Every structure is written in C-alpha cells, then in structure tokens.
Amino acid sequence: MNFLFAWRYFKAKKSTNAINIIAWTSITAIIIGTAALILVLSVFNGFEGLVKSLYSSFYTDLKISPASGKVMTITPEQIQKLKSADGIKNFSMVLEEKAMIQNGDNQTVIYLKGVDRNYRYITGVADHLINGTYDIGTIELPKLILGAGVEDALGIYADRNIFSLKVYLPRKSDSKQIGLMEDISSDTIQSSAAFLIQQDFDNKYGITNIDFVRRALRLNENEYSGIEIALKDPDEVAGVGEQLKKIFGGQYLIQNRYEQNRSLYSVMNIERWIVYGVLCLILVVAAFNMIGALTMLVLEKQKDIGVLHALGGNRNFIQRIFLSEGLLLALIGGGIGMLLAFVIATLQIKYHLIPLQGGSFLIDYYPVKLYLRDFLLVGTTVFVIAFIASWFPSRKASRQEFSLRSE
C-alpha cells in the first residue's frame, strides 16, 4: 500500500517542475554512484585475483620456517613424518640467504634461494621462464635461474651468458674469536634461465642448487631455512597445518599463503575500503538531492496528507508513505545502476574494451571480476543512505499531519 502511494506520487504531475528535476537528478546520481561502486570493486577483484595468481606462482600453500633466526634443524624422522602426512602433494627443502652477484662491473644484491629437485613441482617458476630452461645444476656445477630484474641489473641474457657470475655469500666462521657470520665465501656460478612473475620476485631472487648454497654457508646437512609445501587441496590448509604443528611443534613457524603475504593482502583490503568510502560520497550527494525533492513533495501534498488523515491514516502511515517514496527513488536508481555496471563489466570481460596504459604490465586491459557480495554490499549501502535521507522529510510529513489535525 505504501509503495502504491509512493508510485502514484512519483508518476503524478507536480505543480512545480523543479520537483521532477530534483527527483530525476537524485536518481541519476544514484545510478552513477551505484555503477561506479560496483565497477571499481570489480576492477579491484580482477587485480586482486591477478596478483594472488602471480604470488601463488612463487609462494606455496604452506611454509615451515624457523620461529627465530635464519636456520632450523630438521631431523630425518620429521621428514619421514612429513612425507606420510595426509593432504600433502609435494614439498621442497630450501636454503635462502642474501648474496651479491657480480658480472664484470655490474653487481646487485639478491636473495639466493637454494632448492632441491622437488621445487619445480610445487611452484610455478618453471612455467614463467622467459628464456632458457629450468636447471639448478649440481653442487659441483651449480646453475642459477635469475629474476628478470636481476638479469637486467647484471646486463646479461641468462640463457646466452658464456661467462660465469661471481657470487659472494656470508657464512659461518670456524673461528670462535671472529664471530658467527664474519666470513665471506666466493664462488662462480653459471646462469641458465630467467623468470618473469612479479617485480617483488623478479628484482631480488635467484634460484639455484641447495647443496651449493649449503656448502657456501658451511651449514650441516640437516639445516634448512624453510620447507615449502604444496597441498592436494588448498582448501584443506587448516587441517594440514594442524598435522604439521604436531610433527614440528612450537619452535617452528607454519604459515599459509595469506600469512606469508599478510602485508600485501592488508594493503589491498585497506585500498578497497578507502575507494569504497570515497565513491560513497556520490551517493551522499544523491541523498541531499533526495532530501530536497521529498521536502518539496511534502509541501505540495499537504492537502493529500489532510485527506489521508481524515480517512483514518495515522502518523506512522503518513511517514511510511514518504519513506517509501525515497526508497522507490533508490530502488529505481540502484537497480538501473547495477544493471549498467553488469553490462559494462560483462563487455569488458568479453571484449577488453578499456585498455591499460603502458606496456610494462602482464596484461593490456583492466581485469574485472563480478561477485554477488559486491552487489549486496552496494545495494545495502544505497538502501541505508536512501533510508536516512528519506527519514527527515517523512518525519516532517508526519508532523504536518498533526498540524492539520489541530486545525
């Protein structure tokens, strides 16, 4: 009944054309705000999915690392239990340390990551090579897979470089008087390939044979800096994590992919909410227009309010009519805005209409992903703002009814 009155008031001709203009202006603002919110959130979803896919090519489902220090000791018994744990697809033992790589006058500091033969099967590094073949070599003939940024800093083509690279690593000293990490090892290594995943990895990582790194660092055979694990089902990460806690205990840090990249995901989430808040200002502007339109409508419908009161309409009934009028404006604007956003996003997904400026990114168009939760969030936001904006004029209308009663 309330929406029936609201619909009739919306369609009916007004004595003052400004009421229609303001009403349609508020609807237009709601359409723009709704569409903008959904489209921006969808673009964030697209970039978030892209970034997560890139990071998942380098970070594994789970990682075991020392709770303190750089190196942890893993016993053969623990490795055996790890092999028999449920849900684990494969795992790789890794040793990681900062190193300086030199090619003639060019040099750069990288994270040198020593890995075993299983590493290529638990990450996507081998699938992101831009030149060369995946080869980490042996302890006697080590090979180095460079990030594309490191390759550029050294001024080489990894797969065609005929000269060996110099690698310098800190290592444990045999002398107790000097200290633990004062000695520097120097060795040569041959580059075999280069990978391109994401700048965070491309500019600072080199991957080689774990035994070569262990020898350079003078570490024992059972010392590692981490164990990287791929799961059969990534959704079972919590259950497998509990198994690992029983195997390794509290002296090890067990992290899922989110915990390994906590800062990245936190920043992305904060950016999403900041943009969401800024774009809500468009809806706030629409709310002011709505207040103006409904206030003028209340003034025009004073006689109707008196008639409704005479027919038995109480204060709450009058208020609900004008609340419904505001929600009707929001429903029309929000519905059209959502439909418009859906059409634009679908066209972008299918035809890549809007390109990304610059050719340095992995894709040349804005990635978009539509999620139902975004439509529900934006719809709720429009409803709440419209309800608040409609409350004041509707309250005025209900009080107008009492003033007519007194007459």
From CA 112, how far away is CA 97, in angstroms rounded? 5
Joined together, the tokens standing for residue 152 give 């550029």
| pLDDT more than 70, % of the chain | 87
Q: Are strands 62-66 and 252-256 parallel, antiparallel or unpaired?
A: antiparallel
pTM: 0.79
What does the alpha-carbon distance between residue 385 and residue 26 come to, in Å, rounded to a whole number? 12
Supply the pLDDT for residue 400: 64
CA distances from 247 to 57, 83, 142, 258 (A): 26, 11, 32, 22
The per-residue pLDDT for 23 is 79
- CA–CA separation, 329 and 288 (whole Å): 13
Higher pLDDT, 251 or 312: 251
CA distance 363 to 353: 13
Rounded Cα gap, residues 333 and 324, in angstroms: 14
Average pLDDT over residues 210-232: 95
Q: How many CA atoms lie within 13 A of 86 on its CB side?
A: 6
Between 32 and 9, whose confidence is greater? 32
For 266, other C-beta atoms within 10 Å of its C-beta total 11
Q: pLDDT confidence of 181, banded at 50, 70, 90?
A: very low
Using an 8 Å Cβ cutoff, are 321 and 307 in contact?
Answer: no
Phi, psi angle pair for 185, to nearest 5°: -95, 145
